[in-house]
Amino acid sequence: MRILVPLDGSSLAEYSINQAARLARALTPPADVELLRVVSLTPDALASHVPEYTNIVNLVVEACHDYLREIAMRPSLEDISVNKHVVVATNETGKVISMEARSLNVDMIMLASHGRTGLAKILLGSVAESIIQHADIPVLLLRVEDNEFSWQVHETPFRILVPLDGTPLSEEILPSVAAIARAFEARVRLLRILPNPTGDYDQAMLTGAQTYLTEIAAHLRRQGVETDLSYAIGEPAAEIIRVAQSTDQGSDMVAMVTHGRQGIDHLMHGSIATAVISALHQPLLIYHPVNTR
Provide DSSP, 209-263: HHHHHHHHHHHHHHTT-EEEEEEEES-HHHHHHHHHH-TTT--SEEEEE---TT-
Residue 154 lies in a domain: no
Asked if 62 and 184 sit in the same domain, the reply is no
Does some domain include residue 93?
yes
User: pLDDT for 144-197, tens place per residue?
Assistant: 764 556 666 556 778 999 999 888 888 999 999 999 999 888 999 999 988 765
Based on the fold, state whether residues 62 and 104 are members of the same structural domain: yes
43, amino acid identity = P
User: Do both 183 and 254 map to the same domain?
Assistant: yes
Bridge partners (DSSP) listed for residue 27: none
Amino acid identity for residue 277 in this structure? I
Question: Cα separations (Å) of 20 from 41, 52, 103?
Answer: 27, 38, 19
152: in domain: no
Strand ranges for the chain from DSSP E: 2-7, 32-39, 82-88, 108-114, 139-144, 159-164, 187-194, 226-233, 253-257, 284-287
CA angle 217, 219, 221 (to 5 degrees): 70
The enclosing domain of 242 has a CATH number of: 3.40.50.620
Task: Determine how β-strand 139-144 pairs with β-strand 284-287.
Answer: antiparallel
pLDDT on residue 124: 41
Mean pLDDT throughout 38-61?
70
- pLDDT at res. 188: 95
List Cβ neighbours of 184 (8 Å cut-off, separation of 6 or more).
26, 151, 152, 158
Residues 140 and 196 in one domain: no
Q: Calculate ∠ Cα 202-206-207, nearest 5°.
A: 115
Closest alpha carbon to 113 in 105, 104, 103, 123: 123
- Residues 190 and 126 occupy one common structural domain: no
**What is the total count of domains within the chain?**
2
Structural domain contains residue 36: yes
Q: What is the mean pLDDT of the chain?
A: 81
Instruction: Specify the pTM.
Output: 0.84
Q: Side-chain half-sphere of 156: how many Cα atoms within 13 Å?
A: 11
Question: What is the predicted pLDDT for the residue at 114?
Answer: 59
Residue-wise pLDDT for 84-133, tens only, equals 999 988 778 888 999 999 999 999 999 887 544 444 444 444 677 778 77
Q: Note down the domain range covering 203.
A: 159-279
Higher pLDDT, 2 or 44: 2
